[in-house]
Amino acid sequence: MAEIIRIHQHKESFNEAIKDLSNLCSEDLHSINTLVLEKLDSSVPLIQEIGKYLILSGGKRLRPLLTTSCFHILNSDLTNNINHIGLAAAVEFIHAATLLHDDVVDLSKDRRGKLTANEVWSNKTSVLVGDFLFSRSFQLMTKYGTMETLKILSDTSVIISEGEVLEISNDKNLEINEDTYFQVINGKTASLFSAACQVGGISGGAKENEQKALKSFGTNFGMAFQLIDDAIDYSSNFETMGKNIGDDFKEGKITLPIILAYGRSNKEEKKFLKTVISKPDENENNFNLTKKLLTKYNCIKDTMIRANHFADIAIESLSIFRDNEYKSALIKLIETSIKRLA
């Protein structure tokens, strides 16, 4: 029981860290939301409807927050021709587009407790509205950015889609190595975190070393964030006393805890893992047996060690900036994101 409370407290503190950052950036966040809403406008009603369903569903706006806080971390009062609000909105549109397409690819039925768009409308609608959001993001970048920010964001889009294809190319492949898996999650999560930070910095007039620092910060934060997510998926017993089976397990997804477990398993255990991953189900017994293997081979612990490695680098990268409230808030964000599973 003590453990349940602890985890809940940690979750709270991550949400609090997001809230603190949102408060710091509240004016910007308001402008970003206004712009996002404005740019969901379309002569085609279905686009507005789905766009609003998705984007206004109470997401944390983590990526646009990264853009705007990396703008402010520079203590800049720069008014150049690059608009960090517009770029933050572009980042949110890319993110929304990938969510729509991801849910089609994964055949997901719910996200954050709400039916997915593909479930409410259809897969084909999600594909096309995703294309719209993606196109809209490039329109925003063209309007509010420069060739430099365009290069960063279009390169990132390539990395995102390569990561996604790499992931489905390795579907059910338990022998995928850690480096390949890192390439996948770099595409899935870290590259957009990274670009979000970098373009925020550029909007604030970041010098080359500052840009590099923000890029590194975003990448490493994204890697850590995704790895903790992977580990949380196999830790539902703490929160719900074993009643919920993790989404990744249900979908037979290969994540780091499973990769580590497979590599360390004996022949019989390998066979078991192959079976549960290739034919995923909601069998609680299989889930518990899998978790036992993860415990036996320290896979959650080692996933967290990897996550901490990236988090440390992320925090370190901010050392070149003078202390200010944005820097503190970003550090708190990473620290609490890691402690979601302490």
Residues 147-166 interacting with a copy of itself (rule: CB under 8 A): 147, 150-151, 154-155, 157-158, 160-162, 164-166
Q: Report the distance separating Cα 114 and Cα 267, nearest Å.
A: 40
- 160 or 329: CB nearest a copy of itself: 160
Q: Report the distance separating Cα 158 and Cα 187, nearest Å.
A: 9
Q: Report the distance separating Cα 134 and Cα 92, nearest Å.
A: 10
110, β-bridge pairs: 115
- Residue 31: Cβ within 10 Å count: 18
Site string for a copy of itself, 175-214 (x = CB under 8 A): --------x-------------------------------
Of the candidate spans 55-63, 131-139, 191-199, 242-250, the one that interacts with a copy of itself by CB under 8 A turns out to be 131-139
62-72 vs 84-105: helix crossing angle, rounded to 10 = 160
Based on the shown chain and the rule CB under 8 A, indicate whether residue 37 belongs to the binding site for a copy of itself.
no
Based on the shown chain and the rule CB under 8 A, indicate whether residue 105 belongs to the binding site for a copy of itself.
yes
Based on the shown chain and the rule CB under 8 A, indicate whether residue 138 belongs to the binding site for a copy of itself.
yes
Based on the shown chain and the rule CB under 8 A, indicate whether residue 173 belongs to the binding site for a copy of itself.
no
Of the candidate spans 18-26, 125-133, 227-235, 262-270, the one that interacts with a copy of itself by CB under 8 A turns out to be 125-133
Based on the shown chain and the rule CB under 8 A, indicate whether residue 284 belongs to the binding site for a copy of itself.
no
- Listed in sequence order, the residues at least 6 apart from 72 whose beta carbon sits closer than 8 Å to its beta carbon are 24, 25, 28, 204, 324, 326
- 42 or 328: CB nearest a copy of itself: 42
| Segments of the chain assigned E as strands | 110-111, 114-115
Q: Report the distance separating Cα 25 and Cα 326, nearest Å.
A: 9
Based on the shown chain and the rule CB under 8 A, indicate whether residue 76 belongs to the binding site for a copy of itself.
no
Number of residues lying near a copy of itself (CB under 8 A)? 42
Provide, rounded to whole angstroms, the least separation between the CB of residue 153 and a copy of itself.
8
Provide, rounded to whole angstroms, the least separation between the CB of residue 130 and a copy of itself.
8
Cα angle value 175/178/181 (rounded, 5°): 85
Provide, rounded to whole angstroms, the least separation between the CB of residue 37 and a copy of itself.
16
Query: For residue 11, with 0-12 CB atoms within 10 Å meaning exposed, 13-18 middle and 19 or more buried, which class applies?
Result: middle
Q: Report the distance separating Cα 314 and Cα 214, nearest Å.
A: 9
Give residues in contact with a copy of itself (CB under 8 A).
Answer: 42-47, 98, 101, 104-105, 123-125, 127-129, 131-132, 134-136, 138-139, 141-143, 147, 150-151, 154-155, 157-158, 160-162, 164-166, 168-169, 183
